Amino acid sequence: MAPHFTNGRGTEQRFDVNLSILFTELPLLERPAAAAAAGFDAVELWWPWTDTPTPPGAELDALRKALDDAGTQLVGLNFYAGQLPGPDRGALSVPGEESDRFRANIEVAADFAAATGCGALNALYGNRVEGVDPRAQDELALENLVRAARAADRVGAILLIEALNKPESPLYPLVSAPSAVEVVDKVNAATGLGNAAFLLDLYHLSMNGEDLNQVIDRYADRTGHVQIADNPGRGAPGTGSLPLDDLLGRLRKAGYTGWVGLEYKPGDRPSAESFDWLATGA
């Protein structure tokens, strides 16, 4: 069953489901089959093992088998980012143990992406740390992002850089589209690979008060992946006030034909019941 759905304007979108925020009422290994039963054959994940960047091979194999058995394609995967959901917002710019854990995860995540055919790896930047020079964190971040970009390139994947939102992530430094794209440019300049791209999350950018139409017009050609949730509430499309149907149409008109990840909270209902908006559009 293909994850292509026609919105209210007759425009076809390629939606995938983030299994780290939807279907979390189920054990991890049951979520791919649940997504398939709901009509999706593409999924994405935050790094599932929040306590370790290097889980046992048997656990990696079990997740890969669950994806294969369900007929679901993994199209996006986060590198290790600490406790998500939770207080952490990435690890790669955090000096000491967290940065070391990110580095230990780079090849593990890249190899898992290769084994599953995943084409996009997301590297969350990490929070500012009290008492540490932000310039030192930025230098560490660039060093680790260069490593990640090279690992992604080795397995034929792109590296995604994401802006979060300041109200919910006040210590995260990338809280605008320009700030994230600036890092994308620095990584591409440092590697010469050109495989770093912007992860355009309409929910986070709307929470920052950005003009979403302008962001799309300016950065659609720099965008490697899109994620959506409505605002306010981070619920399913139609539960808030974002004109997601119009925004997705604008993205397509601007040339974006990639995946759109559903990264919203299902609310007080089972995740499988949170896709009714697909019948009428976003």
- Report how far residue 238's alpha carbon sits from residue 241's, in angstroms, rounded to the nearest whole number: 7
Nearest to 42 by CA among 25, 62, 22, 56: 22
263 is catalytic: yes
- Report how far residue 96's alpha carbon sits from residue 171's, in angstroms, rounded to the nearest whole number: 18
Give the angle 193-195-199 at the CA atoms, nearest 5°. Answer: 155
Token pair, residue 21, equals: 């925020």
> Which one is catalytic: 59, 162, 168, 182?
162
> Which one is catalytic: 44, 98, 210, 263?
263
139 is catalytic: no
Upstream peptide bond of 170 is cis (omega within 30 degrees of 0): no
Cβ–Cβ under 8 Å, residues 259 and 226: yes
Q: Active-site residue numbers?
A: 162, 263
